[in-house]
Amino acid sequence: MDSQDAQRLLQAAEKEEIRDVLMRYARGVDRLDEELIRSCYHEDSYDDHGHWRGNGQDFAGFIVESLRERSHHTTHAVANVLIEMDPLDPDKAQSESYSLAYLRRNDETGREWLDFFSGRYVDRFERRNGEWRISHRVVVHDWSISNPLDSSAFPLPMDSFIQGKRDRTDPVYQ
């Protein structure tokens, strides 16, 4: 293996570490795991979520409490992840990843709604002490929609499935 091949392998491994941060973030949000969300951000990070701007560590507590109050189920999917390593600094990278968020909630009358958010995370990552984390995030809104739900429309009985939990009792933590 020549040095160019070794460099490509190293860069692929670094990109996979960054992808892992993005996936841990999505799990943390859906499981309302504040500690896991915090692990994705550097201590001095910045996060712009539109309705919330500030330190990424502080955002972790805000979003967990906000989602607990506003919704009863969420699914965040991260897709189309493009990571670009900084050619001048091997400890920096930027990424764009699609954020597809489904949030189920009840309105004040008890009617259930499905909110869908389509946007992108535009992130700057830094590796510090050997660990990649988000140093700066901007959430870009592309489009969204809300629809009332009719649970009787789904043909399968959902109660036969193991149900997801929004805490550390979820099967993923077992």
Q: What is the CATH number of the domain that holds 109?
A: 3.10.450.50
Residue 164 lies in a domain: no
- Contact present, 67 and 29 (Cβ < 8 Å): yes
Boundaries of domain holding 74: 3-153
Residue 93 lies in a domain: yes
Q: What pTM, to 2 d.p., does this model score?
A: 0.93
Q: In what order do the strands lie in the sheet with 73-85?
A: 53-54, 41-48, 131-148, 112-128, 92-106, 73-85
- Contact present, 121 and 96 (Cβ < 8 Å): yes
- Contact present, 122 and 141 (Cβ < 8 Å): no
User: Can you tell me whether residue 97 is helix, strand or coil?
Assistant: strand
Give me the tens of pLDDT residue by residue for the chain, a chain 174 residues long: 788 988 999 999 999 999 999 999 999 999 999 999 999 999 999 999 999 999 999 999 999 999 999 999 999 999 999 999 999 999 999 999 999 999 999 999 999 999 999 999 999 999 999 999 999 999 999 999 999 988 666 667 777 889 999 999 999 999
Residue 173 lies in a domain: no
Give the span between the Cα atoms of 124 and 51, in whole angstroms. 20
With b meaning 16 or more CB within 10 Å and e meaning fewer, what string describes 34-62? Answer: bebbbbbbbeebbbbbeeeeeebbebbeb
Residue 36 lies in a domain: yes
Residue 158 lies in a domain: no
- The radius of gyration of the chain from alpha carbons, rounded to an integer in Å, stands at 18
Cβ atoms within 10 Å, residue 99: 22
Tell me the two tokens of residue 58: 């502080």
Residue 33 lies in a domain: yes
Residue 171 lies in a domain: no
Residue 163 lies in a domain: no
Domain count, the chain: 1
